[in-house]
Amino acid sequence: MNDMDLISRIETLESRLMHQEATIDEITRTLLGQEQLITSQKKAIETLENQLQSLTAASIMQPGEEPPPPHY
């Protein structure tokens, strides 16, 4: 193998490495964005659960507390 072949192989490897690094950076940015989205969605779900629990607790009436139907 001569020097030109070796230089060509090294350049090819360097090029591949640059593409892999760019891909890894893109994947990292995507994962960070997804992590932020998941955190935001978890907070929204917790808020909705709390609202649902408070509505459910407030809407439960004893049978004697219920108003009569409109036709009475």
pLDDT digits (tens, 9 = 90+) for 13-34: 999 999 999 999 999 999 999 9
pLDDT of residue 4: 92
Q: Is residue 34 part of a domain?
A: yes
pLDDT of residue 72: 58
The count of structural domains within the chain is: 1
Question: Range of 17's domain?
Answer: 12-41
Task: Read off the pLDDT of each residue in 45-72 and give the average, rounded to a whole number.
Answer: 78
With a pLDDT cut of 70, the percent of the chain lying above it is 85
Mean pLDDT of the chain: 89
Task: Give the helix/strand (H/E) hosting 55.
Answer: helix 3-59
Q: Looking at the predicted structure, is the pLDDT value of residue 35 above 80?
A: yes
Q: Is residue 29 part of a domain?
A: yes
Q: Is residue 28 part of a domain?
A: yes
The pair of structure tokens assigned to 26 is 């893109």
